[in-house]
A and B are shown apart, each in its own frame.
Chain A
Amino acid sequence: GAVVSQHPSRVICKSGTSVKIECRSLDFQATTMFWYRQFPKQSLMLMATSNEGSKATYEQGVEKDKFLINHASLTLSTLTVTSAHPEDSSFYICSASGKKYEQYFGPGTRLTVT
């Protein structure tokens, strides 16, 4: 149990375009979902926390107009990187938590902006 999927697993886009990443909890209802960014050989950096049906809470320094998060249901959250630039290239990972303490991570999405 506790499976979280992400789609796509990797995406290459041109500078200036927008990219949407989906995060789904497959076998549990996720009251809270989190989005992280990870650079090579570094720890995970929390970008935002979202609860179903409410606006996401962004961490300091994360542009909410650039990284749009929607948590439309208890099993789906999306991250849209708007007007992507090469510096947005990174590994984006979502996680989901249910009623208990555990947080389960998706497999990640490798974004490359050319």
Chain B
Amino acid sequence: QQQVKQSPQSLIVQKGGISIINCAYENTAFDYFPWYQQFPGKGPALLIAIRPDVSEKKEGRFTISFNKSAKQFSLHIMDSQPGDSATYFCAASWAGSARQLTFGSGTQLTVLP
């Protein structure tokens, strides 16, 4: 019940295209859903996060869509750039678990020039 399932495992997008990564969760107690971006040999960087009281959050080219009834959330990267090539992790947490993050398995994004 603590799992967060992420898909696809890898994604190749042309420059300027839209990258979409999906995550699904089971634990309805989760109340915080961040996305992290990780480059090789670096720690994950917080990209954008959402709480379940809103259905969408946008920051620049990055948008989170959240569907509470379906227990799904997704990351959309608009106008994808080669510099966006990285591994993206979705995650979820709730207060009852000391805010430990439950991570998805990651998506390797490659944006072709």
| A contact residues vs B (CB 8 Å cutoff) | 2, 4, 6, 32, 34, 41-44, 46, 49, 51, 57, 91, 93, 95, 97, 101-108, 110
Main secondary structure of the interface of B (DSSP, over half): loop
Once the chains are docked, how many angstroms separate the CA of A105 from the CA of B42? 9
Cβ 8 A contact of A101, one of B42, B99, B108? B99
For this complex, 6 residue pairs linking A to B, each with C-beta atoms less than 8 Å apart, are A46-B101, A101-B49, A101-B93, A101-B99, A105-B36, A105-B45
Chain A residues closer than 8 Å to B60, beta-carbon distance = none
By a beta-carbon cutoff of 8 Å, the part of chain B in contact with chain A is 32, 34, 36, 41-46, 49, 51, 89, 93, 98-101, 103-106, 108
- Known contacts A43-B89, A43-B105, A43-B106, A105 near B100 by CB under 8 Å: no
User: Are A93 and B43 in contact, with the CB atoms below 8 A?
Assistant: yes
With a CB–CB cut-off of 8 A, which chain B residues contact A57? 98
- Determine which residue in A6, A41, A110 has the highest number of CB atoms from chain B within 10 A of its CB, and name it: A41
Which of B42, B43, B44, B98 sits near A32, CB closer than 8 Å? Answer: B98
Alpha-carbon distance between A65 and B41 when the two chains are bound, in angstroms: 27
Across chains A and B, the number of contacting residue pairs, with CB separation under 8 Å, is: 59
Q: Are A105 and B44 in contact (CB under 8 A)?
A: yes
Question: Shortest distance in angstroms between A22's beta carbon and chain B's nearest beta carbon?
Answer: 14
- Tell me which of A4, A44, A101, A102 contacts B89 (CB under 8 A): A44
Nearest residue (CB) in A for B99 is: A97
Q: Which residues of B contact A32 (CB under 8 A)?
A: 98-99
- B100: which A residues are within 8 A, CB to CB? 34, 46, 49
A107 to B108, CA, bound (A): 19
Closest CB pairs A-B (n = 6) = A105-B43, A101-B32, A108-B43, A107-B43, A105-B44, A43-B103
Q: Is the CB of B104 within 8 A of A102?
A: no
Chain A: minimal CB distance from B67 (Å): 20
Q: Which residues of B contact A97 (CB under 8 A)?
A: 99
